[in-house]
Structure 1
Amino acid sequence: MELGNSMPGLQNEMSCASEVQAQLFTHPVQIIYACVQTVLFLATIIGSLLAIVQLCKKTTIPDSTKVLLIGALFFANAHELAYFSSPFKVFKMNLFHTNTSCYPLASTLECIPTTTVLAMGISGNMLIQSALSVDRLLATIFPVCYSRMRALPGVVLLFMVLIPSFLSYSWIRSDIVLDDYQMFCSQWSANISSRANTYLEYCSYLTVAHIIINALIILRNRSVESKCRFDVQQRYLNSETLKTTQTICYLSIAQFLAMFLYSGGVLFMRKNQKNIPTLIYINVIVWVYKPCQPFCMDVKQLKIQRKVLYSCFGIYIVLRLIFVDYASIPEKRKLEEIPLECDSVINGTENPRLISKAKQWDWHYNWVENEIFTAKNICTVIEKYFTFSREPMSIEEEKYPLAYGLVVYKTIVQVMMQLSLFYQPQHLFCITVDNQSPDQYKAVIQALPECFPNMKVFIGEPSDWGSFGILSNVYTCFNWLAEAKHNWKYYQYLSGTDLPIRTNLEMVRIFKAMNGSINTDVSTFEVDRYKNMEGVLPPMPIYKSSMSVVVPREAADFLIISPRVQKLLKYLSKTWIPDESFWSTVLGSPALLPVPGSFRVRDILWLRKNFKLRPPYENTVDSIGTSYIGRYQVWGWQKECFGKVKDFSCVFGVGDIEEIMTRPELVAHKLYLEYQPAGFMCMFKSIRKRSLSPDADKFSAKSYSEMPSVELFKGKAITQLTNPHWLVRDSFYNPSLEDFDKEVL
């Protein structure tokens, strides 16, 4: 089809341009149009600059995506500014279009130049979409390689999408280079019809490719959720249950589907306007995709309102894509909802690849810490990222409040996640912060009572290992909790590296089964710990125990007013590792210190010395197998640690979680959020899920009432215990020193 025969108004293009000049100057629609284009130009430039500034500050967008977005924005605006140079030139070029021929869309003398701003936005957005698609695709299919961006498949995929996008963008901008270029079996030439058809063909292929990529990602992800506030390398490392980018995918598909609908709608209109050549409609479609030199459009065939509508739509999509804040979606922003496959970690698996993948899973939470430390309102940030129960989970739990004393010094995100699991509004909390912690860390912890009225915070002494500072910090909170006018039933000590094994309801039932008894570890005090106090008679016999303890309210009330306890604290302040000498000492000599709930520690030590008890084979909630449930801790000499050993104690890793979740203890110690975080997160998710489960009420604490410490408190003799073999080991036992040659009870 020859251009002159198909378009009567264009037989002489230069004539069209000269004849329309005067009319364009006085045309009211053209004046409005020029103003709109100028405003859109300014909005695009200013909006893009603001977007770049915001992107640099934003912590909710992955760094890789951020770089690609900023690069695309900079590249797009550099071309735009180079072409127009100023808003005045935009206005002038749209108002006085005399130096350029009327291109094929002018079929009458009333013609309006198209908006380069819209075309710029659309093509720039195509480039951004390419970058985002590559970002998601690489991270989904090649998660480990993508984190390093060194894998050959990742680089190939990157260039497969980005190079065509850049080439199409550059070629369409300056389409002289397309002359006689062969692509898609069509030859680019100076012929307008051939060129327009090839534009449409190429843009359609690229658009379909984007839609397919996004659709495949959504299908692969299955349960899609918006999790884009997490660092991309972390949220994509587990590709099997990847749940992310719903909003971006939907925006992408919606945008390109809108373009297709617009294109189809324009072609459909031709049925009632057969006198308009097909070439005009082809170029109207290309106009949506093609950033080219200004050309004219027929006012009668395409109303200005529709054009402005699509212009605004294109700009909106670009800016919306950039400024969307996925962390602002209420139901999708909690840290505990981070997508992670946990079944193999919690229940175990024979597939070593799943465990290896969980070990390699990494999570950088620095951006959350930064937001917490820099927040003007810490309560808002806590509410944003952490889930704290605002109402009791049940009437049973509401009527049995507990007290918790914590000593913390680092990793604010881990502490907040730990607190969110233990927290109930009916409980009472006291936190002592190590004085050596950073000022911003202490400031955040000190601000917690503003968010939670049932919390108290103290700045304590340095908690160096082996020093009295640890015990001093623990006792500071213990004393405050005991003096508080609150009806809590049991006190439990927590460190900042503990994570609960039991839900709150389970703990309530366990404490009820303990019936007012104390639960503490029992061991022989080591002579070398006397340090400077060797030869100085202590106020009462000293025993060794763990720092973790469970104490009923009656015992706490008694201890804080006892002069002997104060003398013991003063004595222990000059010994080594006094925090492991306090609880079993004050709670293990009822003849000297009749603490409610206490029992005679020397009876247990006598039993261990004179009878070689076989350790139990089972340690579960149905058969406790131990008399100490305050904390599950593994020392380096006791058994294999699947994490790492630090300060002789196992830092639990992914391989330890399966056993931990079957243990009867109340908490596990130690877990580090920065070390194999999948272990921490999966354990966290499991406890949260169990606490919300309809089956939570089925838990029975009957076996806990049979613990030796409970029966001793009730008055049973040491030789009449139901399960004396549960006393076989203290928490520091060394299996290499055990033998069974003696009499077995």
Structure 2
Amino acid sequence: MIGLESAVAERNFRLLYIVRSSLCWTIMFQLESVKWSFLVLLGISIFICSIIYLKARTSYAPTALSPLTCRPFLDNCQALPNTSSYTRWQRMECLDITYFDGPLICYRMQADLHFIMEPLSTEEANYPLAFIITIHKELEMFVRLLRAIYAPQNIYCIHVDVKAPEKFKTSVRRLADCFPNVFLASVGERVTYGGFSRLKADINCMEDLLKSPIKWKKVINLCGQDFPIKSNLELIRYMQEAEWRDINMTPGIKQPEYIQYRTQMQHIEVNGDYVASKGIRKDPPPHNLQIYFGTAYYSLTRAFVEYVLNSSMAQDLLEWSRDTYSPDEHYWVTLNHVKEAPGSNINGGWEGDIRAIKWKDQEGTVHHGCNGRYVRDICIYGTEDIPWIIEKNSMFANKFEITDSLEALDCLENWHRHKVLQQAVVPIQSSWHLAIEVNVSSAITMG
């Protein structure tokens, strides 16, 4: 009887075990099914989100211009060093000025045209500069110049010649509208080479710059045929050296006798084309000022600019200069020799390495000739002039023209950008590169 009860109990236990096991497996199977269903749904959701993200990225993210428009990088540009004999430089920049003819999406344009959109160091962020750029032609040259000197902490006043083509003006305005710190001068001038209008263009921009909320430290003026040699960081450090800290840079000397006709005789601008002498002698300069002669290009302190716009002496000299020849070559340097002027350099001469220029009459002394061609006795640079420019290490080089200097400009531009990025202390974005070093086999494939 006891054996029978034991057998029944064992059978019942086994049945209970089987039922419990079946129930557990059923529950586990259901849970597993739920888990896999959840994972499947999660996977589908991720897939759908990925598709949406990729479509949005394709539609709105910055993309490079088509590499099909790129010119091949010059083999005879020795400015960019190769790390080995198995590499060469591949262009990433494919500037096409017809880009400005269609719809312009600013953040895409900034990436497509390789603008650097953040300060590259704290040192630069803490020392904003102002730039005055006077232009009248060659949109591509202007774009290259602007992106080479552009930094978001700086400010840029662009003066476009009133007589420039309307399409050129529109393109420059559209470009400027894409940057909060780039603007066109509120008052434009019909600029004449050698005329008062050229000086007035700078004055107009200075008035606008002082109204800006950006507290720039110094202002530099440029023309559309300039290109930088120093990086923004190097410009700041150069202008903060002991010789130039809080001092204006206006290279020049007392007016030589052979050039005194410029300020002793009255002149007039003719139809915005040229300046002619009226054959009438002028009155002496106001306030018994000693007239100096020098470069039209400068680096000026903010306090000096305020003095220029508000001082009665500066205003009187400006009015007196209205009928002189090329007044921008005497106005700045004369005021910079006035003791009361902020940052004045009363004992200054030709110091201040603002421009690397090959003058024709300096051939054989300062330089060994122009490898491009001379225009008004100034060299329009060729590619073989680039080593001299780099060695000169001035603030800027002058002159370049797209029609004559394209290969030389390509070389200097890529050398300059390479140097700028090497000096940066922030992560480098891929769109900032104008050229990258690649293996020769890769370059052949990409080409």
TM bucket, shorter chain: 0.5 to 0.7
Q: Tell me if 1:501 matches 2:229.
A: yes
Of residues 293, 299, 309 in structure 2, which corresponds to 1:550? 299
Deviations 1:628-682 (A, max 9, x none): 2222222221111111111221111111110101113100011112213111011
Of residues 416, 424, 434 in structure 1, which corresponds to 2:151? 424
Deviations 1:306-336 (A, max 9, x none): xxxxxxxxxxxxxxxxxxxxxx992465899
Question: What residue is the counterpart of 1:478 in the other structure?
Answer: 206
Of residues 584, 597, 603 in structure 1, which corresponds to 2:343? 597
Question: What residue is the counterpart of 1:559 in the other structure?
Answer: 308
Of residues 383, 390, 393 in structure 1, which corresponds to 2:110? 383
Would the alpha carbon gap of residues 455 and 676 (structure 1) be closer, same or farther in structure 2, given more than 3 Å must change?
A: closer
Q: Distance in 2 between matches of 1:417 and 1:383?
A: 12
Is the CA contact 1:335–1:386 (under 8 Å) kept in the aligned structure 2?
A: no
Question: What residue is the counterpart of 2:385 in the other structure?
Answer: 656
Q: Tell me if 1:397 matches 2:397.
A: no
Q: Distance in 1 between matches of 2:201 and 2:170?
A: 17
Letter in 2 for 1:686: W
Q: Distance in 1 between matches of 2:403 and 2:125?
A: 34
Q: Which has the higher contact order (CA 8 A, sep 6+)?
A: 2
Question: What residue is the counterpart of 1:341 in the other structure?
Answer: 74
In the alignment, structure 2 segments of 5+ residues that lack a partner are 1-60, 82-93, 267-279, 364-368, 427-447
Of residues 369, 391, 395 in structure 2, which corresponds to 1:666? 395
Q: Tell me if 1:443 matches 2:173.
A: no
Question: What residue is the counterpart of 1:576 in the other structure?
Answer: 325
Q: Distance in 1 between matches of 2:358 and 2:127?
A: 31
Would the alpha carbon gap of residues 694 and 490 (structure 1) be closer, same or farther in structure 2, given more than 3 Å must change?
A: closer
Would the alpha carbon gap of residues 505 and 581 (structure 1) be closer, same or farther in structure 2, given more than 3 Å must change?
A: same
Q: Secondary structure at the match of 2:401?
A: coil
Question: What residue is the counterpart of 1:409 in the other structure?
Answer: 136
Question: What residue is the counterpart of 1:50 in the other structure?
Answer: none
Q: Secondary structure at the match of 2:409?
A: helix
Q: Distance in 1 between matches of 2:247 and 2:75?
A: 36
Q: Tell me if 1:632 matches 2:351.
A: no
Of residues 239, 246, 249 in structure 2, which corresponds to 1:519? 249
Q: Tell me if 1:330 matches 2:63.
A: yes
Is the CA contact 2:77–2:383 (under 8 Å) kept in the aligned structure 1?
A: no
**CA RMSD in angstroms, aligned pairs only:** 2.8
Question: What residue is the counterpart of 1:325 in the other structure?
Answer: none
Would the alpha carbon gap of residues 596 and 343 (structure 1) be closer, same or farther in structure 2, given more than 3 Å must change?
A: farther
Is the CA contact 2:380–2:405 (under 8 Å) kept in the aligned structure 1?
A: no
Of residues 181, 184, 200 in structure 2, which corresponds to 1:454? 181
Is the CA contact 1:541–1:585 (under 8 Å) kept in the aligned structure 2?
A: yes
Q: Tell me if 1:489 matches 2:235.
A: no
Q: Distance in 2 between matches of 1:339 and 1:650?
A: 25
Question: What residue is the counterpart of 1:646 in the other structure?
Answer: 375
Alignment of 1:732-743 (within 5 A): none
Q: Secondary structure at the match of 1:430?
A: strand
Is the CA contact 2:248–2:301 (under 8 Å) kept in the aligned structure 1?
A: yes
Greater Cα radius of gyration, structure 1 or 2: 1
Q: Distance in 1 between matches of 2:247 and 2:67?
A: 38
Q: Tell me if 1:684 matches 2:413.
A: yes
- My pick for the range that moved more, 500-509 or 550-559, is 550-559
In the alignment, structure 1 segments of 5+ residues that lack a partner are 1-327, 349-364, 605-625, 698-745
Deviations 1:469-512 (A, max 9, x none): 11111111122213323211111001111100001111121122
Would the alpha carbon gap of residues 550 and 389 (structure 1) be closer, same or farther in structure 2, given more than 3 Å must change?
A: same
Q: Distance in 1 between matches of 2:219 and 2:423?
A: 27
Would the alpha carbon gap of residues 655 and 580 (structure 1) be closer, same or farther in structure 2, given more than 3 Å must change?
A: same
Q: Give the TM-score, by structure 2 length.
A: 0.68
Q: Distance in 1 between matches of 2:405 and 2:130?
A: 30
Q: Tell me if 1:529 matches 2:262.
A: yes
Which structure features the higher share of helix residues? Answer: 1
Q: Secondary structure at the match of 1:675?
A: helix
Q: Distance in 2 between matches of 1:447 and 1:341?
A: 31
Q: Secondary structure at the match of 2:215?
A: coil
Q: Secondary structure at the match of 1:403?
A: strand
Q: CA deviation at 1:447?
A: 2.6
State percent identity of aligned pairs: 25
Q: Distance in 1 between matches of 2:62 and 2:179?
A: 24
Deviations 1:524-560 (A, max 9, x none): 4321102217340112221111111001122222222
Q: CA deviation at 1:464?
A: 1.9
Question: What residue is the counterpart of 1:281 in the other structure?
Answer: none
Is the CA contact 1:523–1:544 (under 8 Å) kept in the aligned structure 2?
A: yes
Q: CA deviation at 1:383?
A: 3.0
Q: Secondary structure at the match of 1:413?
A: helix
Q: Secondary structure at the match of 1:477?
A: helix
Deviations 1:146-171 (A, max 9, x none): xxxxxxxxxxxxxxxxxxxxxxxxxx
Q: Secondary structure at the match of 2:159?
A: strand
Q: Secondary structure at the match of 1:679?
A: helix
Q: Distance in 1 between matches of 2:112 and 2:398?
A: 24
Q: Distance in 1 between matches of 2:381 and 2:315?
A: 36
Would the alpha carbon gap of residues 377 and 629 (structure 1) be closer, same or farther in structure 2, given more than 3 Å must change?
A: same
